[in-house]
């Protein structure tokens, strides 16, 4: 009997060992070192390295699928950028890049991966999602769901009636100039950006509306620029209520199922089931690049733009100055004096578009901290380096 017990124990140990070593190695990281805080802003770098690629695969956050079509648009291959391998490897390590894709004239000229990431994997976007949300506002206007950017926010979100948003227009949300007080400090657990996703909503009220309608006024609407992820979440709620569709379904209908995306994507949901539209689309880097090319081409589907005439001329040019003298702000796009514009996400996510050079750069990563002036400058230098290489190509 003792002999059989030893055999059974050894078999179980072997089975457990085999299962353990066949588990995704990034999942093992989170099993061995689980985050103490539910808020990803306060995870360690190692935990984020694992977690940013696993949101799509695990039920650690609720999310909704953004459906792609069955027909993938394959990249044409262009002349490779003249990057020395050693210099490129050093750049990938120094900026902690998981992926870097460059399209020039619609052709793939650079594709590189780091942090043990791959072309098939999906990475989370953080605030790059804001630029997707902005484009859906344009689509909702073109489709007739929204009358005008001059309309009041509370006209489309009844739960905001009686709040300080009664006198805020949709355009002021898009340009981050509502004048409503908001704290976007990623290092402070008591800031608005740290707390709003964990807020217990008032009964029967959407979680975003419940949090945002209680905020005080700090300035007159349309006068002061203040970055606020909460307000992009309001934009997403507004789109959903105007179109009577989920944001994921509307993005699939207008874009994801139309332009040859290679995989379904997903969008993280808030407590009451609406997409957190200021954050967190999970997609392959190739599909982020395809979205950038779609925007560069004027958001054309079946020969017609999904947004109104002149939309991008305003959306992607500076409407207000920001706290960074090198960057302005349009409609949820960061703008530059040379005519380029970009979607930016904390910890190093980005889609950069340069219409003059017909250049698109999609990049994902995991910086050691959420954001800083120094990290932003390094990213701008990366984009400038690639612009110069394209000029020389």
Any idea how long the chain is?
Answer: 393
Tell the residue number behind the tokens 């985050």, with chain if given: 35
Residue ranges and CATH numbers for the domains of the chain are: 2-54 (no CATH), 63-392 (3.40.710.10)
Tell the residue number behind the tokens 């207000």, with chain if given: 320
In terms of Cα–Cα distance, which of 190, 187, 210 is closest to 199? Answer: 210
C-alpha distance across the termini of the chain, in Å: 75
In terms of Cα–Cα distance, which of 199, 179, 202 is closest to 191? Answer: 199
393, 110 Cβ separation under 8 angstroms: no
pTM score, whole prediction: 0.93
145, 136 Cβ separation under 8 angstroms: no
Q: Which residues pair with residue 364 across a beta bridge? A: 99
Mean pLDDT of successive 10-residue stretches along the chain, which has 393 residues: 44 40 67 80 95 86 94 95 90 96 98 97 98 98 98 97 97 98 96 94 94 97 97 98 98 98 97 95 98 98 97 98 96 98 98 98 97 96 96 86
Q: Which two tokens stand for residue 109?
A: 């000229």
* CA–CA dist 89, 97 (Å, integer): 10
* CA–CA dist 75, 187 (Å, integer): 39
Q: Which residues pair with residue 66 across a beta bridge? A: 265
Q: Got the DSSP string for 59-104? A: TTS-EEEE---S---PPEE-PPP---HHHHHHHHHHTTEEEEEEEE
Q: Which two tokens stand for residue 199?
A: 């807020």
> Can you give the pLDDT at residue 14?
43
237, 157 Cβ separation under 8 angstroms: yes
In terms of Cα–Cα distance, which of 171, 156, 139 is closest to 252? Answer: 139
44, 113 Cβ separation under 8 angstroms: no
The 10 Å Cβ neighbour count of residue 336 is 18
> Can you give the pLDDT at residue 23?
54
In terms of Cα–Cα distance, which of 269, 292, 311, 302 is closest to 349? Answer: 292
* CA–CA dist 132, 124 (Å, integer): 13
Q: Which residues pair with residue 384 across a beta bridge? A: none
* CA–CA dist 110, 115 (Å, integer): 17
* CA–CA dist 332, 320 (Å, integer): 11
């Amino acid at each position: 009997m003792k002999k059989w017990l030893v055999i059974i124990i050894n078999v179980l140990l072997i089975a457990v060992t085999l299962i353990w070593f066949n588990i995704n190695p990034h999942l093992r990281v989170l099993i061995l070192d689980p985050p103490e805080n539910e808020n990803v802003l306060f995870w360690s770098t190692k935990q984020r390295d694992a977690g940013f690629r696993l949101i799509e695969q695990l039920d650690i956050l609720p999310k909704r699928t953004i459906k792609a079509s069955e027909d993938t648009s394959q990249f044409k291959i262009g002349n490779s950028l003249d990057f020395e391998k050693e210099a490129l490897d050093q750049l990938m390590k120094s900026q902690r890049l998981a992926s870097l894709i460059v399209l020039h004239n619609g052709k793939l000229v650079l594709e590189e991966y780091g942090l043990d990431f791959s072309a098939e994997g999906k990475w989370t976007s953080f605030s790059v999602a804001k630029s997707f949300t902005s484009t859906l506002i344009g689509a909702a206007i073109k489709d007739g769901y929204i009358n005008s950017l001059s309309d009041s926010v509370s006209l489309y979100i009844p739960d905001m009636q009686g709040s300080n948003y009664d006198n805020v227009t949709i355009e002021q949300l898009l340009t981050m100039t509502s004048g409503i007080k908001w704290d976007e400090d990623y290092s402070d657990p008591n800031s608005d950006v740290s707390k709003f996703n964990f807020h217990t909503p008032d009964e029967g009220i959407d979680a975003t509306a419940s949090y945002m309608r209680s905020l005080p006024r700090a300035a007159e609407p349309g006068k002061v620029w203040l970055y606020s992820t909460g307000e992009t979440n309001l934009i997403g709620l507004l789109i959903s209520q105007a179109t009577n569709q989920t944001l994921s379904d509307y993005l699939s209908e207008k874009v994801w199922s139309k332009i040859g995306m290679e995989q379904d994507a997903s969008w993280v949901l808030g407590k009451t089931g609406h997409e957190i539209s200021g954050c967190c689309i999970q997609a392959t880097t190739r599909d982020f690049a395809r979205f950038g090319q779609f925007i560069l081409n004027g958001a054309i589907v079946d020969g017609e733009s999904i947004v109104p005439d002149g939309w991008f001329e305003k959306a992607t040019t500076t409407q207000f100055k920001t706290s960074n003298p090198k960057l302005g702000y349009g409609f949820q796009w960061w703008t530059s004096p040379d005519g380029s514009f970009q979607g930016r996400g904390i910890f190093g996510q980005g889609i950069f578009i340069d219409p003059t050079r017909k250049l698109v750069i999609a990049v994902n990563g995991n910086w050691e901290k959420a954001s800083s002036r120094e990290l932003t400058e390094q990213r701008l230098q990366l984009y400038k380096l690639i612009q110069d290489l394209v000029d020389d190509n």
